Amino acid sequence: MTSSHRDPIRIGVLLSETGVTAPIECSQQRATRFATEEINEAGGIDGREIELVLCDPASRPSRYAELLTGMIANERIRVVVGCYMSSTRKAVLPVLERHNALLLYPTLYEGFECSRNVFYTGAAPNQNSFPLAAYMLRHHGKRVFMIGSDYIYPYEANRVMSDLVFESGGEKAGEIYLPLNADYEAYQDAMKKIVAAAPDFIFSTVVGIGMAHLYRAYAEARLDPARCPIATLSTTETEFTAMGADIGEGHITSAPYFQSVDTPVNRDVLARFQRRFGDDVVTDMCWEAAYFQMHLLAEAMRRTGGAEPDALLRALPGLEFDAPQGRVRIDERNHHTYLRPRIGRLNARAQFDILSESPDWVRPDPFVIAFDDDRRAPALEVRAGVRE
């Protein structure tokens, strides 16, 4: 089959519409579709439309690998966007590398990976864990209880967080992992252990449907977020809106983007997004990464004339884009993204009050190897007018 220069350019989308992480992956899928509509309305890639090929891997790592294999073999697609859980990204890595295909991955993750065939547009540990540890240790204390889902990202993110806590003379009050499909009772039991351990804060790496159970069990245990909040890298406006702001209010998230970010670009993009998808639709850090990475990909395709992985591998490094969070840039050496760390506290409208933010973008350091001054948490500016 030959493709003409007028045919659409087909891009695969590996994001789940069902399963434990469906809500956040649907948010990433909406952002991908929205950015693609914008690109096509503006003339596409030199007149050629981008056509998204959607599928539903059902939040199961092996399905991501099978569907990607099928896209490559049957549809000749070699550029894909998506994956949320690190277990799903790890499952597609061998397929990508075997076929020299490319993945743009719009999710915060644990770091310690650098595949030639992946561009990472979510936060690396030095862009979210470092500032979160600095904030929590300073404002809440040094005893942390860790609770996570039972897969690679929570184990690795907790390893990084443990190092940061221990380096500051802090201690771990406990560590629990629950299956991705654990029920509410499992979270109630975990919360009893947390209450008994009396930490200064809880670090959660729970993902998916378990998030609502965790915050509900916390509320039921009548803990006080002003004294011992749940701090996380992953719970967003999307999950808090679904579970109810009354349950999430006062808890802390570290991310490069919140819907409440007050930049002209964010205001414009939000207005267009809500006109297209409805006033009630919310955005979040994973939505934003999915949105801006499509625009970066489109620019790289314009420069190279299509979706040829080797050409894109040369064009994407060093590209910049005015994203809703501020200007972002793909690092030339490690394929991760310069991002702007922020700390937010959920308010009664299921939006984040931004407590502090980096005045500039922060270079991604996925292997946490900068042992000099860069090793410190990026300096965040405290936002005026927010209750500290």
Give the shortest CB-305-to-ligand ACM separation in angstroms: 32
Give the shortest CB-121-to-ligand ACM separation in angstroms: 12
Determine the length of the chain: 388
Q: Which is nearer to ligand ACM, 36 or 127 (CB)?
A: 127
Q: Which is nearer to ligand ACM, 173 or 203 (CB)?
A: 203
Specify which residues 12 forms β-bridges with: 53, 80
Report the C-alpha gap between 204 and 168 in whole angstroms.
19
Specify which residues 323 forms β-bridges with: 326
Query: SS3 for 111?
Result: coil
Q: Which is nearer to ligand ACM, 208 or 344 (CB)?
A: 208
Token code pair at residue 268? 């414009």
Give the shortest CB-157-to-ligand ACM separation in angstroms: 8
Report the C-alpha gap between 229 and 248 in whole angstroms.
10
Give the shortest CB-207-to-ligand ACM separation in angstroms: 5
- Closest by CA to 316, choosing from 128, 121, 125, 124, is 121
Q: Which is nearer to ligand ACM, 120 or 361 (CB)?
A: 120
Q: Which is nearer to ligand ACM, 50 or 212 (CB)?
A: 212
In this structure, the number of other CB atoms found within 10 A of the CB of residue 168 comes to: 12
Give the shortest CB-181-to-ligand ACM separation in angstroms: 15
Binding site for ligand ACM (CB under 6 A): 85-86, 107-109, 153, 207, 234
Report the C-alpha gap between 302 and 103 in whole angstroms.
18
| 320-323, strands of its sheet edge to edge | 320-323, 326-330, 337-338
**Would you call 138 exposed, middle or buried from its count of C-beta atoms within 10 A (0-12, 13-18, 19+)?**
exposed
Give the shortest CB-234-to-ligand ACM separation in angstroms: 5
Nearest residue to ligand ACM, by Cβ distance, number only: 153
Give the shortest CB-208-to-ligand ACM separation in angstroms: 9
Q: Which is nearer to ligand ACM, 86 or 117 (CB)?
A: 86
- Taking the alpha carbons of 124, 303, 88, 211 in that order, is the dihedral positive or negative? positive
Q: Which is nearer to ligand ACM, 113 or 357 (CB)?
A: 113
Please state the φ and ψ torsions of residue 162, each to the nearest 5 degrees. Answer: -60, -45
